[in-house]
Amino acid sequence: MFASNSPTIDKMVTLAQTIADIKSLKIQGATNIAKAGLQALLEIPDSEINQAIAELILVRPTEPLLQNCLELVHQRGKSVIKLLITQLGNIEEEIVKNGLPFINNGSIILTHCHSSTVVNLLRMAKKKGLGFKVYLTETRPKMQGRITAEELTEAGIDSTMITDSEAAFLVSKEDKRKVDLVLLGADAVFKDGSIFNKVGSYGISLAAQKAQIPVYILATLLKFSVKKIVIEERKAQEIWQDKPKKLTIFNPAFDKIPVELITAYVTEFGIIKPEKVKSVVKKNYPWIIETHHDKLLRLPANNFGYLGTAATNFSVATSATLKDSQVLDSGLKNNEALRGKCGSSKIVDRRPIIGLKLSPYKTYLHLNEKVNKKNHLIVDYHL
């Protein structure tokens, strides 16, 4: 498609490939996504960095680690990228060190999906000579549990796969296997101490609480988000390729583990009670709280429609590339809906724009209409 003799084009292809791989889940897990995003940015020339950030920032809307890293690159420039990649590695080492005391000889552990952080802890426990057993869910629909299975068996860890539907029974008191602890990663960490993680995490945590089994969340607090995040809904085809036409499929990527189901966080700052998360973030990563992310709107994976807010003025940030007053097509696909909802919008190049304003990586469309709650954009107030 592109001539390969242009270095810039090659680099944009690398970025496009990274974005495609993140979308398809070939690259998955919050940490891997953030690292891959940063790695792709390394290749981008300075003059195109903000456009690249715009393209990356909303690729998976439930990934504040990637977004926080991109925010830093945006604020401090390209020189911070290598530091961040190294820092993510150091953070993982700290989390592993802090998590080790939770694993004993003979421990029976349940994990879900594929969290590189959990896998790294288990690898280290094995290296230290501990003998323990891991149950892991296959993780429908995309089977990320197989990645966990491959990595754990390669490390020589005694591993057993279960279907997702078996997980609650496995942790219940009814089952003779007696799971000792649940170890999960996180995609997003919130100020009330709750998290988003792979769908299924909520059910496992509920069952664990009922059976009085601890649930530990292994996560860097760089996953903290002050924004409201709408859980990404993925394609029906991931669940059933040739589904009956009239069948509706609901396929959320993540669910929420409420604070009361979390025993503790294992972080780069040690073991933290969920209620303390916000104060630890405030002390160590104040910029995450100060960035006012809540003004940023995120487009869900399907990019169609609008999520309502009573605000008469709100802003829309798209990952679209802007040239003068045109929004190109990458961020806002459902222009018909936008046009329909915004009586006073001005259509520029068949795309409606009011009060177009550019900031380096956020594109704001100022709309003056109330929006329809049934639809799907996350909209935050523009102050």
Rule CB under 6 A: choose which of 12, 15, 18, 29 binds ligand RUB: 29
User: CA 103, CA 140: separation in Å to the nearest integer?
Assistant: 27
Assess 148 for contact with ligand RUB (CB under 6 A).
no
Contact range with ligand RUB by CB under 6 A, out of 27-35, 302-310, 313-321, 348-356: 27-35
Phi, then psi, of 247 in degrees rounded to 5: -80, 130
Residues 222-261 contacting ligand RUB, CB under 6 A: 253
380-381 and 363-367 strand pairing: unpaired
Asked if residue 37 lies in contact with residue 18, where contact means CB atoms within 8 angstroms, the answer is yes
> Which one of the spans 13-21, 29-37, 173-181, 269-277 is the region binding ligand RUB (CB under 6 A)?
29-37
Residue of this chain nearest to ligand RUB (CB atom): 185
Taking the complex as a whole, how short is the minimal distance between the CB of residue 61 and ligand RUB, in angstroms?
A: 12
Q: Which is nearer to ligand RUB, 186 or 367 (CB)?
A: 186
Is 187 a binder of ligand RUB (CB under 6 A)? yes
**Which SS3 state, helix, strand or coil, does residue 369 take?**
coil
Angle (nearest 5°) at CA 111 between 219 and 269:
20
Q: Tell which one of 145, 185, 274, 305 touches ligand RUB (CB under 6 A).
A: 185
Does position 61 interact with ligand RUB (CB under 6 A)? The reply is no
Q: Which of 198, 256, 293, 298 binds ligand RUB (CB under 6 A)?
A: 198
Per DSSP, the three-state class of 368 is: coil
Q: In Å, what is the CA distance from 132 to each residue of 45, 91, 179?
A: 47, 24, 11
Q: Which residues are catalytic?
A: 187
28 touches ligand RUB by CB under 6 A? yes
Per-residue mark of binding to ligand RUB, 83-122 (x: CB under 6 A): ------------------------------xxxxx-----
Nearer to ligand RUB, 99 or 185 (CB): 185
- The reply on whether position 274 binds ligand RUB by CB under 6 A is no
Q: Is 255 exposed, middle or buried (0-12, 13-18, 19+ CB in 10 A)?
A: middle
For residue 148, give the 3-state DSSP assignment: helix
Residue where the block lists tokens 């889940």: 25
303: alpha, beta or left? (left if phi > 0; alpha if psi -120 to 50):
left
Residues at the site binding ligand RUB, with contacts judged by CB under 6 A: 25, 28-32, 113-117, 144, 185-187, 197-198, 253
